[in-house]
Amino acid sequence: MAMNKNSIFGWASFLIFLVGTALILLGVLKYIDYAIGFSVTGIGFFFISWVFNALKGRV
């Protein structure tokens, strides 16, 4: 299976989404004092993931 640019954008989007989810869960479950910062950063990762997903097929 060859990796073309669309599959690379898809995998990058999925991995960035996972990192964002992990950041939010860390903030909520482990570092409660810093939950707002972790959550804002995780939501930022969600937005970057959404942009990468939107770029599939356009670049």
How high is the pLDDT of residue 23? 95
Q: How many angstroms separate the CA atoms of 31 and 41, rounded?
A: 14
Residue 11 in any domain: the answer is no
How high is the pLDDT of residue 37? 94
Query: Mind listing the pLDDT tens digit for each residue in 1-59?
Result: 788 888 888 898 999 999 999 999 999 999 999 999 999 999 999 999 999 888 887 77
Instruction: Name the pTM for this structure.
Output: 0.84
Phi-psi region at 4: left, alpha or beta (left = phi > 0; alpha = psi -120 to 50): beta
How high is the pLDDT of residue 55? 84
Question: Based on the structure, what is the number of domains in the chain?
Answer: 1
- Amino acid of residue 3: M
How high is the pLDDT of residue 45? 95
Residue 14 in any domain: the answer is no
Question: What range does the domain containing 52 cover?
Answer: 19-59
3-state secondary structure 1-59: CCCCHHHHHHHHHHHHHHHHHHHHHHHHHCCHHHHHHHHHHHHHHHHHHHHHHHHCCCC
